Amino acid sequence: MSITVVRTKELIGEHKRSDADTGSSEVQVALLTERINNLNEHMKGNHKDYQCERGLLKLVSRRRHLLDYLRRKDVGRYSNLIKVLGLRK
């Protein structure tokens, strides 16, 4: 259910802005998106797991806040990230 170390490094490598970047908005959103997708798969088979549902909603909210911040700061980076991750808008 959690993201493996290898997958985390892959996501950071795909979305980093510089060589030492591990905490930019793009990387954080990519990691959150991966966790959200994993939890969505879990929720399909365990629809009564309310604690998981609550955690999923918190992750979606955190991602939304980061995306709003990125849209305010740099629209080009925001639209590119949305396109790469396959999110709406």
pLDDT in tens, 8-19: 999 999 999 999
Rounded-to-integer distance, Cα 35 and Cα 41, Å = 10
Helix axes 50-73, 25-45, angle to 10 degrees: 150
CA 16 to chain centre: 13
Q: Where does the pLDDT of residue 1 fall: very low under 50, low under 70, confident under 90, or very high at 90 and above? A: low
pLDDT in tens, 45-81: 999 999 999 999 999 999 999 999 999 999 999 999 9
pLDDT in tens, 26-48: 999 999 999 999 999 999 999 99
